[in-house]
Amino acid sequence: MKNIFCIRHGLAFHNIKAMEIGSDAYLMEECFDAPLVEKGIQQAKDLGNQWKGLNAVQIVFVSPLTRTLQTCQEIFQAHPGVKIIAHDQVKEYPQGLQICNKRREKLELEKQFPGIDFSGLDSESDEMWRDDRLEEIEELRERIEQFKTMLQGLAETQIAIVSHSAYLNQFLYGTLGDKVNTAFFGFAKEILKS
């Protein structure tokens, strides 16, 4: 049995812009790989300080987008023994058109986040993201299934995933609705059989 702790990133710049102008914010160049805002950083710090089960986590998989990397860094900074791996398969849905969901170059991320292992990225550049179309729901389901299969093969049993609301809702419940994440850090647990 494996315990999977799912964590959504803290409040980010594109979330603020979307509250101001709607979903067009996701297409704006200024929202490219949107970082956390101060409130989002504080949310991540608070979770790191308050989560009683944090020390039990053996491995963390994180989306390679800046907002999730920052969230992960703030949560686990006082837990230096845990292995943190950035993984393209846990990026936000949809990949394509929405510039806020396009990651930076691998080399740039490695420099900015030296404590995170980026060997889980598929390529130097973000080849999953496309500028000509949105990712289809079937493509998301396929990458989730591939990721779950990989998780089942791990020796670790206490696993955290730091990702995004649409991805995590599909991962846990097979829906893109926002019913899980009424707060920016909604813990959810899923048990996978090894």
Q: Could you give the dihedral angle defined by the CA atoms of residues 116, 155, 145 and 79, in that order, rounded to the nearest 10 degrees?
A: -30
| CB-based contact 85:68 (threshold 8 Å) | no
% of the chain beyond a pLDDT of 70: 91
For residue 139, with 0-12 CB atoms within 10 Å meaning exposed, 13-18 middle and 19 or more buried, which class applies? middle
- Asked if residue 184 has pLDDT above 50, the reply is no
- Asked if residue 181 has pLDDT above 90, the reply is no
83 forms beta bridges with 59
Segment 64-115, tens digit of pLDDT: 999 999 999 999 987 878 999 999 999 999 999 999 999 999 999 999 999 9
| Domain 2-192 classification at class level | alpha beta
Determine the Cα–Cα distance for residues 53 and 75; give it in Å rounded to an integer: 12
What's the confidence (pLDDT) of residue 79?
Answer: 83
Q: Could you give the 3-state DSSP secondary structure of residue 149? A: helix
Question: What would you report as the CA-atom Rg of the chain, rounded to the nearest whole angstrom?
Answer: 15
Residue 120 vs residue 182, higher pLDDT: 120
With bands split at pLDDT 50, 70 and 90, how would you rate the model's confidence at 177?
low
What would the DSSP string read from start to end of 111-136? Answer: HH-TTSEEEE-S-SS--S--SS-PPP
Domain regions of the chain by residue span = 2-192
| CB-based contact 86:62 (threshold 8 Å) | yes
What's the confidence (pLDDT) of residue 175?
Answer: 86
Range with the poorest average pLDDT among 16-20, 155-159, 164-168, 189-193: 189-193
% of the chain beyond a pLDDT of 90: 84
- Asked if residue 25 has pLDDT above 90, the reply is yes
- Asked if residue 190 has pLDDT above 60, the reply is no
Determine the Cα–Cα distance for residues 152 and 170; give it in Å rounded to an integer: 18
Determine the Cα–Cα distance for residues 62 and 69; give it in Å rounded to an integer: 7
By residue count, the chain amounts to 194
Segment 106-152, tens digit of pLDDT: 999 999 999 999 998 989 999 999 999 999 999 999 999 999 999 99
Q: pTM here?
A: 0.90
| CB-based contact 86:117 (threshold 8 Å) | yes
